[in-house]
Amino acid sequence: MNFEEYRAKPLLEKSGIAVPDSVLVQNADAARAAAEKIGKCVVKAQVPTGKRGKAGGIKLAATPEEAKVHAQAILGMDIDGYRVEKLLIEAQVPIARELYAAVLNDAGSRNPMILFSMMGGMDVEEVAETDPEAMRKIPVGITRGFDLAMARQALEGCGLAEMEGAVAEVLVRLYQAYRDYDAELLEINPLVLTDDKRVIALDCKLTIDDSAAPRQAELAEQAAPELMTALEAKAQAAGLKYIALGGSVGVLANGAGLTMTSMDAITHYGGKPANFLEIGGEAYTKAKIALSILLENQEIRSLLVNFCGAFARTDVMTEGLVSAWKELAPDIPIFFTIHGTGEEEAVKIVREQLGLEPFDLMDDAVKAAVAAAAEAA
Amino acid sequence: MIVRKEHKVLVQGITGKQGTFWSKAMQDYGTSVVAGVNPKKAGTEHLGVPVYACAVDAARDNRIDVSVMFIPPMAAKAAAIDACEAGVKLLVCLTEHIPAQDVMEMHAAAAANGVRIVGPNTAGLVTPGECFVGIMPAFNANVFRPGEVGVISRSGSLGTLVSLNLTQSGFGQSAFYGVGGDPMIGTTSRDALEILDADAGTKAVVLCGEIGGSAEESAAEYAAGMSKPVVAFIAGRASPPGKKMGHAGAIVSGSSGGYAAKRAALEAAGVAVADVPSQIPVLLKESLDSKAA
């Protein structure tokens, strides 16, 4: 789950990290009114992507009139596929130096990692790539945690001088926020030192672990909407993952690994997969809704059903699928290959109810589905 | 370690629907299930074994070598830490969608107690003809048969297909090692390769990888020094980059974690890579023949 800046910053504030005063607006007049209250401000597009600045979605305004003009230009803008509908009108701060700070899940160490750089700002990715020394990587043991002494030690020699203690405190609070909100990534870029010796978070990028949604329910409701097609959204509502792939051979398999393998085999034998859609794991009873989603794709010419049941019982999946198939009576051919848990019963259902013979080899089922799609094209 | 029928197995969550179904299947196949856990049913019996409030209690009365968790995601951390504190040697964590920070804590507890975790999000381990721990169709003789090929897979369904392909071609398996589809797993493909390399009953290894992460690249480093032949298949060649394909591990961003890099790393290590799973037995036969020659 990703969060827009205006959702993420109040969380930082709650964790004790200073952020500028701001007002969220949805039209240019409100932007002007907010600027009148705030003074010199920044007009910031609220979309969940990191390319706002470069896309022209962040502008400085010295007067309320200027804020209004910028707001008019930015509202409705398309940034990285997202339409700008909200703006944050934020007070300008006197920047002395831009820093970078983040906490993220590090798969390699199976622990959190804190990143810190003296070279924050728009080009921090390039800085990290061209000068790895400029990005400090601070490993954290999850059971040990991260305290002020550790933070001070990690910042030693950075050149923060008398600001070291204040920045160390921000790192400790940032780590605590990462833990409190089950973040996968919590990033402040830039974290600024002001002329009057304050440490302020000017931006915040927050991604919360989808798996933690049940215990972060309140936050989950505030997550930014994901960019997806109508069918992808329908699948997600049903607890399924659907991705349109543009080809003509439909794929229905259980488990991500087997589904990707089915797509690979279709490609290998000269066809083009129409979709990724898997019903493994806890979703194995959802064959019916899965089929109806597949069939809404008008490009589909044949359907490959590849079940290899481990946890997912092939008899349960097949029963659901066959009854849906009979109900929806689609006008395309279907090709089965079924093995694993519940195999005998599943094969029997296909034979008796559809009068079809499942293929013993996946390759043969794939070849047949590819040939049928080519013929129908 | 490879699971054996002598190993004593604890099932955490034994009384649930899936726990019951798979515990029964494990018992029928030859797995020595000695106890179960359900805090609300402590003191009762289920499937002929005693049920305890926690793994620590179960370990007080029984020798436990392996624990397998049929536990929902939000309760998985506590159950895993309980198993680690109970002193099991091996913990098989089937649960998918455990919050990542909980997974980190599980691994920390395992490290502190000297426990090997397999998973999370694994389909488990099979030693054909002996026993299995997890949710694999070990009992399906079309899929698994005793033999000398070790199989490693991130995905249970793909592992099932590949084992089936091997069996159909006359290759039985010494062990199936489901390492799991999560990004932070306790036993990596490389670790599993090392385990099968050390196993006297394993003559060759099939590695089923997936796009995303760097597990295959790391496994390739180890494979380069192996004398046993290794054949690989990597799922996801036809998947578009930047999309999450269900497994949290199978996400490709930019060039890292992509198909081409994984295949190149494996081939450079002398591993034959199949385009489709049905080629695996063919490549395996070639590798074994050329080694014998």
Distance CA A236, CA A286 (A): 12
A84 and A120: one domain?
A: no
User: Active-site positions of B?
Assistant: 247
pLDDT on residue B257? 78
**Domains in chain A, number:** 3
CA distances from A310 to A264, A280, A332, A356, B135 (A): 21, 9, 28, 23, 6
Distance CA A89, CA B105 (A): 40
A169 and A308: one domain?
A: no
A109 and A219: one domain?
A: yes
Distance CA A28, CA A32 (A): 6
A253 and A336: one domain?
A: yes
A175 and A62: one domain?
A: no
In the predicted structure, residue B254 carries a pLDDT above the cut 80? no
Distance CA B152, CA A343 (A): 23
Q: Do A211 and B276 touch (CB under 8 A)?
A: no
Cβ of B224: how many Cβ atoms within 10 Å? 14
Q: Which domain-ending residue is among A208, A225, A242?
A: A225
Beta strands in chain B (DSSP E): 8-12, 32-37, 45-46, 49-52, 66-69, 90-93, 116-118, 124-127, 131-134, 146-153, 173-178, 204-210, 230-235, 272-274
Q: Please tell me if residue A243 touches chain B, with a CB cutoff of 8 Å.
A: yes
Closest CA to A340 of B22, B32, B138: B138
Chain A residues with beta carbon closer than 8 angstroms to that of B181: 256-257
Cβ contact A110:B180 at 8 Å? no
A104 and A196: one domain?
A: yes
Interface residue of A103, A110, A248, A364 to substitute, partner B, most B CBs within 10 Å = A110
Q: Which residue of A has its CA nearest to B18?
A: A311
Q: What share of chain B is helix, strand, coil (3-state, %, to 5)?
A: 35, 25, 40
- Domains, chain B, with CATH or none: 8-118 (3.40.50.720), 140-292 (3.40.50.261)
The answer for residues whose C-beta is within 8 angstroms of residue B84's C-beta and 6 or more apart is B91, B106, B109, B110, B112, B113, B115
Closest CA to A124 of A93, A107, A92, A101: A101
Q: Which residue of A has its CA nearest to B209?
A: A257
In the predicted structure, residue A134 carries a pLDDT above the cut 80? yes
What pLDDT, in 10s, does the model give residues A75-99? Answer: 999 998 899 999 999 999 999 999 9
Prior bond of B281 cis (ω within 30°): no
pLDDT on residue A281? 62
pLDDT on residue A265? 98
Fill in the amino acid letter for A301: R
A292 and A244: one domain?
A: yes
List strands edge to edge, sheet with B45-46. B45-46, B49-52, B32-37, B8-12, B66-69, B90-93, B116-118
Cβ contact B238:B210 at 8 Å? no
pLDDT on residue B243? 65
Full 3-state SS string of A146-192 = CCHHHHHHHHCCCCCHHHHHHHHHHHHHHHHHHHHCCEEEEEEEEEE
pLDDT on residue A126? 79
The backbone torsions φ and ψ at residue A15, rounded to the nearest 5 degrees and listed phi first, read: -85, 5
The answer for residues whose C-beta is within 8 angstroms of residue B151's C-beta and 6 or more apart is B159, B162, B163, B166, B173, B175, B176, B177, B205, B206, B208
Q: Percentage of residues in chain B with pLDDT exceeding 90?
A: 90
| pLDDT, chain B, mean | 94
Distance CA A376, CA A332 (A): 9
Instruction: Give the DSSP H or E segment for A12.
Output: helix A5-14
| pLDDT, chain A, mean | 93
Instruction: Locate A224 and state its tokens.
Output: 């930014």
pLDDT on residue A283? 65
Distance CA A191, CA A97 (A): 8
What pLDDT, in 10s, does the model give residues A299-352? Answer: 999 999 999 988 788 999 999 999 999 999 999 999 999 998 899 999 999 999
Give the closest-approach CA distance of A287 to chain B in angstroms: 16
CB pairs under 8 A between A and B: 181
Cβ contact B182:B123 at 8 Å? no
How deeply is B17 buried, as exposed, middle or buried, from its count of CB atoms within 10 A (0-12, 13-18, 19+)?
A: exposed
Q: Percentage of residues in chain B with pLDDT exceeding 70?
A: 95
Instruction: Locate A35 and state its tokens.
Output: 């600027």
Give the closest-approach CA distance of A28 to chain B in angstroms: 35
Give the closest-approach CA distance of A253 to chain B in angstroms: 9
Q: Which domain-ending residue is among A225, A240, A267?
A: A225
How deeply is A332 buried, as exposed, middle or buried, from its count of CB atoms within 10 A (0-12, 13-18, 19+)?
A: middle
A215 and A258: one domain?
A: no
Q: Are strands A183-194 and A205-208 parallel, antiparallel or unpaired?
A: antiparallel
In the predicted structure, residue B109 carries a pLDDT above the cut 60? yes
B246 closest CB neighbour out of A141, A143, A259: A259
What pLDDT, in 10s, does the model give residues A237-292? Answer: 888 889 999 999 999 999 889 999 999 999 999 999 999 998 876 666 788 889 99
Q: Which domain-ending residue is among A46, A68, A92?
A: A92
In the predicted structure, residue B242 carries a pLDDT above the cut 90? no
| Secondary structure letter of residue B89 according to DSSP | S
Domain containing residue A346: CATH number: 3.40.50.261
Distance CA B185, CA A309 (A): 22
Average pLDDT of the residues in B87-115: 97
Average pLDDT of the residues in B53-75: 98
Instruction: Give the DSSP H or E segment for A56.
Output: none
Q: Which residue of B has its CA nearest to A344?
A: B140
Distance CA A262, CA B238 (A): 9
Q: Are strands A87-91 and A41-45 parallel, antiparallel or unpaired?
A: antiparallel
Cβ of B14: how many Cβ atoms within 10 Å? 25
How deeply is B90 buried, as exposed, middle or buried, from its count of CB atoms within 10 A (0-12, 13-18, 19+)?
A: buried
Cβ contact A263:A315 at 8 Å? no
Distance CA A373, CA A206 (A): 44
Interface residue of B94, B102, B157 to substitute, partner A, most A CBs within 10 Å = B157
Give the closest-approach CA distance of B293 to chain A in angstroms: 31
Q: Do B210 and A256 touch (CB under 8 A)?
A: yes
Q: Tokens 């019963």 identify what position?
A: A345
Q: Do A267 and B238 touch (CB under 8 A)?
A: yes
Instruction: Locate A324 and state its tokens.
Output: 């849906």
Average pLDDT of the residues in B243-258: 57
- Residue A127: domain span: 1-20+94-225
Distance CA B19, CA B9 (A): 13
Distance CA A256, CA A97 (A): 46
Domain containing residue A30: CATH number: 3.30.1490.20
Residue A50 banded pLDDT, cuts 50, 70, 90: confident
Q: Is the four-CA dihedral A351, A283, B136, B287 of positive or negative sign?
A: positive
Chain A residues with beta carbon closer than 8 angstroms to that of B277: 261, 265, 362
Distance CA A369, CA A108 (A): 40
A136 and A200: one domain?
A: yes
Closest CA to B138 of B156, B120, B122: B156
A11 and A56: one domain?
A: no
Q: Which string of b and e fits A214-244 if b means at least 16 CB within 10 Å?
A: eebeebeebbbeeeeeebbebbeeeebbbbb
A54 and A105: one domain?
A: no
Q: Please tell me if residue A107 touches chain B, with a CB cutoff of 8 Å.
A: yes
Interface residue of A311, A314, A360 to substitute, partner B, most B CBs within 10 Å = A311
A257 closest CB neighbour out of B22, B135, B235: B235
Average pLDDT of the residues in B228-253: 75
pLDDT on residue A124? 80
A326 and A256: one domain?
A: yes
Domain containing residue A111: CATH number: 3.30.470.20
Cβ contact B67:B119 at 8 Å? no
Q: Are strands A111-117 and A135-139 parallel, antiparallel or unpaired?
A: antiparallel
Distance CA B222, CA B266 (A): 10
Q: Is A217 helix (H, G, I), strand (E, B) or coil?
A: helix
